Structure 1
Amino acid sequence: MKWEGDRQSDNVEDRRGGGGGGGRFGGLGGKSVGIGTLVIALIGSAFFGIDPSVFLGGGEPVPVQQGPQGPAAAPANDRETQFVKTTLAYTEDVWQQIFKEQGAQYQPARLVLFEQATDTACGTGRSATGPFYCPADRQVYIDLSFFRLMQQRFKVEGEFAQAYVIAHEVGHHVQNLLGVSGQVHNAQQRASEKEGNALSVRLELQADCFAGVWANRTNQREQILEKGDVETALAAATAIGDDALQRQSQGQVVPDSFTHGSSAQRVRWFTRGLDSGKVEQCNTFDARQL
């Protein structure tokens, strides 16, 4: 992946070496309805052809809530940190352009680098969780040891595979801005566990598709892809499919417990976004077959 020398984002906070936090990880912060909800409804309508009233009925973005933070260490400037900052900048440029095409303004996510544990507005984030997005503070959290885990446990190497992970989490931020994640969360409160898991799968696969859209658009702008890059991203998507993880950890696959989608599904939706470069191709919620 060719990225050296390109713009780096200022929206990266380095908490490595700082304090952790207590509390329970998980859950969403409170919601509020404001004038921004109407903008989100119109964006959702333009992207997916969805009746704006669907978004106005719920799923508005979560207001930003800053969780308590420990003391921050001096930001590192090693190659890995520069890569993360550059990848985040790529996501900012792509989503800013996509939102602009719909007459809207993109609000970038912040990305927090941490080690072991850190406070978030969603509770305590831990390395064992893997990279995650907290809707309540609109921040992506990553312990970079996850990338080494990808290499050691899943035999997935390459910076583009790592960029796919970041782009997937930023995809969740886009879903939050569009009101999609809020709608899913509201629906899950009324659903059975099996139905709730199925909704989660569709949300995750859409984030995979958004990551594919990002890759398509970024490569058009910056020509970042090198030989073998796409294959590494597909290998990452395959390795973290629910069926692959369950088979590895428990020796059997239980589809009703899937929350992220099978390996084949994750590859299919990432590829769909990558091939098309179009957000409207990522409406997993209307798809009859995932």
Structure 2
Amino acid sequence: MKNIYLISMFTLREAFSRKIIITFAGISTFVLLLFLAVFLSFDTGVLDFKFSTNGMVYSPGYTLAEKIQALVSIPIFGGTLLLSIFSASGFIPHLLEKGNIDLFLSKPVKRYELLTGKFFGGILMVFLNIAYLVIGLWLLSGIKFGYWNFSFLLTIPITTFAFSVLYALMILTGIITQSSLLAMMLTYLIYFVLSPVLALREQIAFITGSSFLENFLNMMFYITPRITELADQNARIAEKLPVDNWEAFINCGIFGVVVYGISVYIFNKKDF
């Protein structure tokens, strides 16, 4: 566990040295300042009144804040994953470069510890950036509207979970190809193309009328991560609506575990 922790911290320092975290923080700060400017120019005087029904307090300001948080949870989820995939795609190929991998393997560290440290280090990097942005927006909307929606904070673990699933795929691709570009492009392909298409598989099958295409899309639907559906559930939770598709979480979790397990197996067998 100590080796995993040390390598995770090393990965985090690598992200700092490559200005990844600083860039993330800069973008997040710009977004927060933008929302601050909007909120300061917004007159909420007409929304300040409250009324109570069955012990529940309601306010137009609360409703507006809730809708804003639900709305921004969508671009936060997508934008964070977009930047995170780009930023983390080079971690494994850089590790496998001649000299770097020799140095790490010369240390008293097991290969699975090395890979797991890189895995958790990348996840920690993304978690910190997401937390900064989401907590900042939560504080701004809470101070402005007096509405403290703790469900909105669940965007942090859900988005981090989605990234961890895609990061497992990037690790596997990076180990096999040692190419950050291929790892990034394959992950983007699954996230931005395949996942949205599979979410519409029933409509596509109905329009085409092809039983072969329907079976193929159904097969792909069950063996690839349902990131699009996960994004939908994230928006529902941010709006304090109940989860109505736990399969998306289970599917992504199983995919991530299986793909990461394959990555560890190949990494242990690989000759450097």
TM over 0.5: no
Of Structure 1 and Structure 2, the greater helix share is in 2
Give the structure, 1 or 2, with the largest relative contact order (CA under 8 Å, sep 6 or more).
2
Greater percentage in strand: 1
Which of the two has higher C-alpha Rg?
2
Q: TM-score, normalised by structure 1?
A: 0.28
